[in-house]
Structure 1
Amino acid sequence: MTHSSGVLEQLAHELGGGVPAAAAQLDHASQEKLVRLIRDAQHRQGAALKQAADDGFDSLPALLRRPVKKILGR
């Protein structure tokens, strides 16, 4: 396995499947940057989703917040 194929495996993992042909043709540094950018985007998306869920809990009546959070495992 070449060094580049390891990055392609990481990229495939982050994308949840195959690697687009254009991404496979990128140089090693660009592939690594793409993996970092995807991970950063996924992290920001997860943080935004968590914030949206927390904001949703705030819209519930105070007496329901704790039981709903417990049911949802939060």
Structure 2
Amino acid sequence: MASLADLRKGEKAKILGFSTEDIPAKFLELGLIPGENIEYKSSAPFNGPICISLCKSKCVLALRKSEACEVLVKKEG
């Protein structure tokens, strides 16, 4: 099991859950739901935000690295 922050450009993964029981409602509102497939698109330099795509809704999101560390994923492929 890895965190969203551990992925590299082009990697796909499935969201398994969160590292804490206190899930920020923001994550769920953005569509970061367990079972959702995602693709890591890019990251900004100097530890900047991470850009991911939610495969089902084709929505693109940017998350702070600290937020991405809280999202647990299973790499595909």
Q: Which has the larger strand fraction?
A: 2
Higher relative contact order (Cα pairs below 8 Å, separated by 6+ residues): 2
Whether TM-score is above 0.5 comes out as no
Going by fraction, where is helix more abundant, 1 or 2? 1
Structure 2 length normalisation: TM-score? 0.24
If the length of structure 1 is used for normalisation, what is the TM-score? Answer: 0.25
